[in-house]
Structure 1
Amino acid sequence: MSRWCAFLTEHDPAAQVRAAGGDPVSVSGRSAFGLLHDEPGRAAGPFTWGDLTAIGEVTLFNAAELRRRLGRDAPPPDCADGLLLLACYARFGTAGLAAADGMFALAISEGTELVLVRDHVGARTLFHARARGHWAAATSLRALRRWPALDTGLHLPAVRSFLAFAYLPGPETLLRGIHEVLPGRCLRLRPDGSVDEQTFWEPAEHTGDRSAREHAQRLRELLESATARRLPAGEPVAVLLSGGIDSSLVTALATKLHEHPVRSYSIGFDGTTPNELAYSGLVATHCHTEHRVLTVPGTAVADRLAHTVSLLDCPVGDPLTVPNLLLAEAAAADGATTILNGEGGDPVFGGPKNLPMLIFELFRDEAAPEARARAYLDSYRKCHGDLPVLLTPGVLAELSDAPPLTDLLTPYLRPGRMNGLLNQLLHTNLRTKGAHHILTKVERLTAASGVEGRAPLFDRAVIDYSFRIPANLKLAGTTEKWILKEAVRDLLPATIVDRPKSGMRVPVQQWLTGPLADLGNDLLFGPSARARDLFRADTLRAWLRGDGSLLPRHGGKLWLVLTLELWLRSFEVGP
């Protein structure tokens, strides 16, 4: 996948692009576009339509529908998806963006403004910054980090957010002055420094009088359509298969709808850690896929961790990042160009985080909206409660005036766009973890392997419909994702459909005391970490010893700190 930069400038825009590490490709008005040579891929433009010029990464799944809308004004049938999306914007404005179904990040030169567009759910990333009277935007945070005009450095509030969430749930990044465009948004950057943000898509809550059976039937139709539109034409497709309901239903739909071979990939770990390989093997046999199991030893994680973290625009406190990259590389080595996944089932239809939140709602004794946000934050069980003993006194002092972390959640967790509590929780999951952890991780790791990751359960129409389904059909008693399971019950063995979610057990503790022990000690207590002075060494040493822990939960917290330190080193972020 190509990475690109866009600049809005009044002085020698082509030189600004060269200074950021790219070749000047075109100049329109005050805007300049450039591709970055260090991340090659298929062409991302520029595209010109009328008075508009754009550059971007665009994959559309409903190109035929958009052409019908444009009629005789549509560009040639063999044009790039980026040009088609630009034509829709030129004709219909933001309504044309809302009508698109796909993965896209687009920068448009429109008069004296630079218009930034990010797809509905956040499958592609887009960042922007302003320095010395100029705007810059890029799909790569590293590209903006290299922009000489930008005086940036570590953004401490983002460090706190990362430790609490294990990702960054909003527009902030770890680099001061660089912000991320939110999904479903259109930003207008003006030469005077002002910004106008428009929302072209946000899911909305609706109610209807359909029966459970009718809801299941309609959902099945949408799932089949979403999967079919993401299948590559004329070639085999790969599927990441964990053995859970979400990846299993995508595998089953792919084998039903695709006329070419479906290859499924699962991961396991050495040692005695519980795994789901028996279930993924059952689904592969049931669906007759070409199945491959990749065993990931701890030594491989140690060898590839630094490289994997360097691929991410924001570190992700997910120990499956290296295994995910290895799976994508395996699929690419087998000739795949497209790899489907089951991501999206939990944030869209109700996963394990929602039940404890509903229990909290029954027993909470504080009416303030912030109470619900604090409970949601605590449910992550990361480092939120440990910040007073984890961060050094100097860092805590600098963060004393920072806005509370609950500000990132409260807008979703109060009546407004969503009035039902479960829908509020799902909306929060979709717009935070879905957009800033799940999808961005998938995009970066698959693109780095030369394949395109696609998530049918994050389909725009599927998401819209999920908020039309009554809450008691999504969480039926204690049964999570009930309606989703009913929609695909005929496709899979009952053992898969009816088993509770267990998740994959990743042997983080074994890695930290085994193949990652030396690297971990160097990163956590070495000169670079000491100079940065973010964390208290006594707390980290106590966690390494497992002090005060009845359950081995310190491994996950250490993983966050370790991942963050690797990322900061990769991006050369000093104290």
Structure 2
Amino acid sequence: MCGIAGWYLPAGSAPGAAALKAMTDRIAHRGPDGEGALLATSPDGAWQGALGHRRLAIIDLSTGDQPMHYTAPDGRRLSIVFNGEVYNFQALRTELAALGHAFRTTSDTEVVLAAHAEWGPGSAERLRGMFAHIIWEHEQGRMTVVRDRFGKKPVFLARRPEGGFYCASEIKALLSAPGVEARLDRSVLPHYLNYRYVPGPHTFFEGIEKLPPASIAVCEGGEVTVSRYWTTPDSRVEPRAAGGDPVAAFMDKLQEAVSLRMIADVPFGAFLSGGIDSSAIVALMSRVSGPPVNTFSVGFAEGEYSELGYARQIAGQFGTRHHELEVSADTLMDWLPELIGFRDAPVAEPSDIPIHLLSAEARKSVKMVLTGEGSDEILAGYPKHRAERHAARYHALMPGVLHEGLVRPVVAALPYRFRRIKTLFDSLSERDVRDRFPRWFGVLGPKALARLLKAGIEPAGLDPTPFEVREGASPLRRLQHFDQTSWLPDNLLERGDRMTMAASIEARMPFMDHELAELVASLPDDCRIRGGEDKWLLREGMRRILPREILERPKVGFRVPVNEWFRTTMRDWVRDHLAGADSRSAVFYEGTELARILDDHEQGRQNHEKLIWTLVTLELFLRRYALNP
């Protein structure tokens, strides 16, 4: 895992080596083990390519420095900066060697270069892993930027009016580049307040965009062309009857995904929450690991919010070398401004803070961890997935007028402990599946958003990719396609990358293996949800391995008690930040509606903790980056 940066700009106006170093210095946390740079000019002298790198050494510690250079069998020269890991690089290396390619290192990076030389940009389709890289082809004067299928590794672009672009792993590196200014894009605010993240390709910054997952950007002669090389299997794969033993096939592929991600030349471990996902990963790691697996868990000192006991149970069962971190809830907010700086965006979830603290603790012992991220999105593990299967039936039985006149008033009066029921019926109120998707996890529906935001803030156009599925796809697959093309890359994976890399530690996600996703998509929907049980394939596969109480635990997540804080100790702090004289975000909101939201929460009439957190972290983000509304 590393940090990369670069540019493709007119040679006469391109900045020099000092500017490139300034960009890579801003992402030094992504690669504290080394740095490197390359400045090159196109054969006609018109364009300059730059590659900058910060290295976190995981594989081939002695000869894996970057930028790495390669000469193809036909004499063409290529250079690369690479972030991530390719888990099938050894098989690809054997295939390429048979085609005449010679290698001087044992790193996956050199294999990526040779693959590009042999198969061109389409070589990305052959890579199994998580990656983002920039390749410069010297004889062609051409730059290619590639991002992995699910968007596990980030790449941002800042296109230039004179042609070409800057690119980097994180936005902060782009903001260090000459001519790139930090200006707020107001058009993303409605989406942020609705989704709690900014859907790609947009960002909070004008002129800075995300390279979408599974995409390739090619720049030659100043023209930038972006194309996709893969789409989620849920959007295109027709399920077939589950022949043979689907559970055995799934578990074999998951074990393979885990084993591949244990290839490293440094100490590694796993994050362990005690839920089924991370427990399954630890169990499968223990099968193939020689020494005990290092496991890391975080919990609150306040027992009410701690799940450390479940993690201890799994650690004891598999004999791991277990590490625990206890944090005090009332100290978490001290970290928020710093983590917003690492995130280059508001911190969308309070749980991101303890995840970063756990990453920093784990970094004392290891440089890489496996995690259970992605299981819910691949295997249908959220309550919304079970509910979406019945949306059409609900609409047939409950016409809109009955829902509005009968169901909505009753649901609105329910106390907070029934919040999942409220979310369910709020979501089902939408007849159009595209409108229903964000209601499952958003904090404001269209009407509430219109009441809160002042007139004149027009939303940015959304990328249609999350809604493009094959004709006849089930509602469940439509929702999971949305999860995998929007929720995952623009929120969950982005947050995970920043919180771990801020501590200079690499996180690998076996459930996000694209071959595993292809297998799951080929099976009927009832292999995901059966008899009301979600993630059926995983639960069945682990039934004889994990304790029953772990298998049947309801999804909890890492809860931070901001609900209570916003009513008590942080009440005045919240009001000052959102409505005080120094507030930067107050100009976005209708004052009476904001006051009503805060009053309702403080008086216990409603629980608006997610919305208030969303508003507060937006305000802190604006202050951190001195963004004028």
TM-score normalised by structure 1 residue count: 0.90
CA change 1:2–1:264 in 2 (3 A) is: closer
1:508 to 562, 565, 571: 562
Q: Distance in 2 between matches of 1:530 and 1:314?
A: 15
2:50 aligned partner: 33
Q: Distance in 2 between matches of 1:102 and 1:474?
A: 23
1:388 aligns with 2:450: yes
Q: Contact (CA 8 Å) 2:269, 2:369: kept in 1 or not?
A: yes
1:328 aligned partner: 359
Residues 12-51 of structure 1: pairs in structure 2 closer than 5 A: 12=12, 15=15, 18-19=18-19, 21-22=22-23, 25-29=38-42, 30-35=47-52, 41-42=56-57, 43-49=65-71, 50-51=76-77
For residues 513-539 of structure 1, give each alpha carbon's deviation from its aligned partner in whole angstroms, at most 9, with x where no partner exists.
456556534432345524772234444
For residues 400-424 of structure 1, give each alpha carbon's deviation from its aligned partner in whole angstroms, at most 9, with x where no partner exists.
7x44xxx55x654465177222222
Instruction: Give 3-state SS (helix, strand or coil) of 2:249's partner.
Output: helix
1:99 aligns with 2:126: yes
Counterpart code for 1:433: W
1:461 aligns with 2:515: yes
1:218 aligns with 2:249: yes
Greater displacement, 106-115 / 513-522? 513-522
1:209 aligned partner: 241
1:338 aligns with 2:368: yes
Greater displacement, 441-450 / 25-34? 25-34
1:149 aligned partner: 179
Q: CA deviation at 1:81?
A: 2.5
Q: Contact (CA 8 Å) 1:231, 1:338: kept in 2 or not?
A: no
Q: Contact (CA 8 Å) 1:33, 1:46: kept in 2 or not?
A: no
2:535 aligned partner: 481
Greater displacement, 111-120 / 356-365? 356-365
For residues 434-476 of structure 1, give each alpha carbon's deviation from its aligned partner in whole angstroms, at most 9, with x where no partner exists.
1122222222221221211111111111111110121012111
1:279 aligned partner: 310
Q: Distance in 1 between matches of 2:66 and 2:215?
A: 20
Q: Distance in 2 between matches of 1:269 and 1:361?
A: 41
Instruction: Give 3-state SS (helix, strand or coil) of 1:475's partner.
Output: coil
CA change 1:380–1:420 in 2 (3 A) is: same
1:423 aligns with 2:453: no
CA change 1:514–1:108 in 2 (3 A) is: farther
Instruction: Give 3-state SS (helix, strand or coil) of 1:3's partner.
Output: strand
CA change 1:236–1:399 in 2 (3 A) is: same
1:263 aligns with 2:294: yes
Q: Distance in 2 between matches of 1:138 and 1:362?
A: 47
Q: Distance in 1 between matches of 2:173 and 2:265?
A: 35
Q: Contact (CA 8 Å) 2:193, 2:443: kept in 1 or not?
A: yes
How many residue pairs get aligned? The number is 563
Q: Distance in 1 between matches of 2:155 and 2:476?
A: 30
Q: Contact (CA 8 Å) 1:167, 1:316: kept in 2 or not?
A: no
Counterpart code for 2:49: A
2:92 aligned partner: 66
Q: Contact (CA 8 Å) 1:236, 1:262: kept in 2 or not?
A: no
CA change 1:417–1:126 in 2 (3 A) is: farther
List alignment gaps of at least 5 residues for structure 1.
none
2:61 aligned partner: none
CA change 1:343–1:259 in 2 (3 A) is: same
Q: Percent identity?
A: 24
Counterpart code for 1:10: P
Q: CA deviation at 1:493?
A: 1.2
Counterpart code for 2:10: E
Q: Distance in 2 between matches of 1:84 and 1:417?
A: 38
Q: CA deviation at 1:98?
A: 1.1
List alignment gaps of at least 5 residues for structure 2.
25-36, 58-64, 401-427
Q: Distance in 1 between matches of 2:85 and 2:13?
A: 28
Greater displacement, 363-372 / 301-310? 363-372
Q: Contact (CA 8 Å) 1:205, 1:423: kept in 2 or not?
A: no
Q: Contact (CA 8 Å) 2:11, 2:41: kept in 1 or not?
A: no
1:237 aligned partner: 268
Q: Distance in 1 between matches of 2:468 and 2:156?
A: 28
1:399 aligned partner: 458
Q: Distance in 1 between matches of 2:501 and 2:608?
A: 32
1:176 aligned partner: 206
Rg larger for: 2
Q: Contact (CA 8 Å) 2:67, 2:81: kept in 1 or not?
A: yes
Q: Distance in 2 between matches of 1:157 and 1:439?
A: 23
Q: CA deviation at 1:2?
A: 4.1
1:9 aligns with 2:40: no
Q: Distance in 1 between matches of 2:13 and 2:133?
A: 18
2:381 aligned partner: 351
Instruction: Give 3-state SS (helix, strand or coil) of 1:116's partner.
Output: strand
Counterpart code for 1:100: L
Q: CA deviation at 1:26?
A: 2.4
Greater displacement, 267-276 / 121-130? 267-276
Greater displacement, 49-58 / 246-255? 49-58
Instruction: Give 3-state SS (helix, strand or coil) of 1:8's partner.
Output: strand
Q: Contact (CA 8 Å) 2:187, 2:457: kept in 1 or not?
A: no
2:136 aligned partner: 109
For residues 549-573 of structure 1, give each alpha carbon's deviation from its aligned partner in whole angstroms, at most 9, with x where no partner exists.
8675311111111122222222332
1:293 aligns with 2:355: no
- Taking only aligned residues, the RMSD between alpha carbons, in angstroms, comes to 2.9
Instruction: Give 3-state SS (helix, strand or coil) of 2:432's partner.
Output: helix
Q: Distance in 2 between matches of 1:253 and 1:370?
A: 42
Q: Distance in 1 between matches of 2:562 and 2:472?
A: 37
For residues 78-129 of structure 1, give each alpha carbon's deviation from its aligned partner in whole angstroms, at most 9, with x where no partner exists.
2442222121122112442111112211112242443210011111100112
Q: CA deviation at 1:3?
A: 2.7
Counterpart code for 1:399: E
Counterpart code for 2:359: A
1:572 aligned partner: 626
